Amino acid sequence: MRWMIGILLLGITTLVVGEPRGGELFAAHCAGCHGDTGKGGVGVPLSLPSFLESVDDDFLRKTIRMGRPGRVMPAFRAISDAQVDAIVRHIRSWSGKPEPVFSDKPRHGDAQHGQQLFVSYCVACHGANGEGGTGTGVTFSRKRDLPIIAPALNNAGFLAAASDEMIRHILQFGREDTPMRSFLVQGLSEQDIDDLVSYVRTFEQQQQHASGKSAVTAAESTIWAESSYTLEETIENLKDAIVSQNFILIRQDTLEHGLVTEGEEDPSQVILHFCNFKFLFEALAVDPRVGMFLPCRVTITERDGKVMVSAINPLYLSRLFNNSELNEYCKKMHAVYSAILEDATL
């Protein structure tokens, strides 16, 4: 009771009275992905001078609020405006320079010509439809083709956060220490750049609202199958089914293994751990947070004479990641789990 009152008071105090400093908020909400000094990781490097010189505070604020649907960066809707401002000030403090100022007036160009330029100059990194590069963040630990992921220009969050002037500035001057080069240096004219901006803006009309959220509800969080075999038979069937799906059986444990002394474990709850390393490596390259799915496993339980097999539903978990690219792997893994359960229990 006392601890509840204590935490309640702490929560109310935090919500009502105190506004933590930007550094503390950044550490709590952002550093996990972007690094404690903004050098990047799962998230892109925010402290890069050429990044901070090319984005205004409004872009940062809107990005925090809206995130990037389907592109890992979540939308932080619950924190206050003051807290968002504090985080933005903290990020800006790394620059040591004043915020760049961009007009919010739209640029007018020839989008059709812009499309031609986009195909010639942008598609290689940003994708044919402006969908951006693959994977997450920078290349500290994982295999990458580029030192920084190319942003998804067709992303609803990006389009809402970036002004025409800001996009124009980035096209004009590029971003040092990233693959983004100045288009003026590459020989394009000011008008060409306006045309490109106009084309990028047409992505809004294409309704490219990519979303990492799936419609799977908590009620479907687990894949289930009732087995018509005994516990032992079901386990053996599962081992065969796992191998037939090109996975390697790693280990058989009780669910209580390691939680109680050996011999006291409930033998009617068994877990089979398995893996397909190629699939694992590919998934890790897409999103290093996929450890939450790992290792692949099925749980077999016997209760009241009934043998049940269950596995996590990757489609349910995929919604947490806000990563459209990962969704494809979750679909594949859902199919694998379903096939294994069906093969072993029917």
Q: Does 124 bind other proteins (CB under 8 A)?
A: no
- For other proteins, which is the closer residue by CB, 205 or 264? 264
Q: Does 35 bind other proteins (CB under 8 A)?
A: yes
Q: Does 32 bind other proteins (CB under 8 A)?
A: yes
Structure tokens at 117: 């330029």
**H-helix or E-strand containing 297?**
strand 296-303
Q: Which residues, other chains included, contact 317 with Cβ-Cβ below 8 Å and sequence gap of 6+? A: 292, 293, 330
Rounded CA-CA distance 346/342 in Å is: 6
Q: Does 248 bind other proteins (CB under 8 A)?
A: no
- For other proteins, which is the closer residue by CB, 105 or 303? 303
Query: Shortest Cβ distance from residue 145 to other proteins (Å)?
Result: 11
Query: Shortest Cβ distance from residue 4 to other proteins (Å)?
Result: 5
- Residue 280 backbone phi and psi in degrees, to 5: -60, -45
- For other proteins, which is the closer residue by CB, 39 or 113? 39
Residue 191 sits at the vertex; the CA angle it makes with 190 and 194, to the nearest 5 degrees, is 90
Q: Which stretch in 156-164, 179-187, 197-205, 216-224 sits in contact with other proteins by CB under 8 A?
A: 216-224
> Residue 304, class by beta-carbon neighbours within 10 Å (0-12 exposed, 13-18 middle, 19+ buried)?
exposed
Of the candidate residues 47, 115, 310, 338, the single one contacting other proteins (CB under 8 A): 310
Strand, helix or coil at 144? coil
One-character DSSP codes across 47-109 = --HHHHTS--HHHHHHHHHH--TTBS-----SS-HHHHHHHHHHHHHTT-SPPP----PPP--
Strand, helix or coil at 215? coil
Q: Does 105 bind other proteins (CB under 8 A)?
A: no
Query: Shortest Cβ distance from residue 319 to other proteins (Å)?
Result: 8
Q: Does 76 bind other proteins (CB under 8 A)?
A: yes
Residue 214, CA distances (Å) to 201, 229, 281 in order: 27, 33, 23
- For other proteins, which is the closer residue by CB, 184 or 255? 255
- For other proteins, which is the closer residue by CB, 82 or 260? 260
- For other proteins, which is the closer residue by CB, 249 or 255? 255
Query: Shortest Cβ distance from residue 120 to other proteins (Å)?
Result: 30
Q: Does 141 bind other proteins (CB under 8 A)?
A: yes
Q: Does 321 bind other proteins (CB under 8 A)?
A: yes
Q: Which residues, other chains included, contact 259 with Cβ-Cβ below 8 Å and sequence gap of 6+? A: 265
Of the candidate residues 142, 181, 239, 332, the single one contacting other proteins (CB under 8 A): 142
Rounded CA-CA distance 333/6 in Å is: 43
The dihedral built from the CA positions of residue 292, 297, 298 and 303, taken in this order, carries a sign that is negative
- For other proteins, which is the closer residue by CB, 17 or 219? 219
Query: Shortest Cβ distance from residue 289 to other proteins (Å)?
Result: 5
Is beta strand 296-303 parallel, antiparallel or unpaired with respect to 306-312? antiparallel
Of the candidate residues 110, 127, 140, 343, the single one contacting other proteins (CB under 8 A): 140
> Quick one: three-class SS letters along 180-206?
CCCCCCCCCCHHHHHHHHHHHHHCCCC
Q: Which residues bind other proteins (CB under 8 A)?
A: 1, 4-5, 7-8, 11-12, 14-15, 27, 29, 31-33, 35-36, 41-42, 74-79, 139-143, 218-219, 221-224, 253, 255-260, 266, 269, 273, 277, 280-281, 284, 288-289, 291-292, 294-295, 297-299, 301, 303, 308, 310-312, 317, 320-321
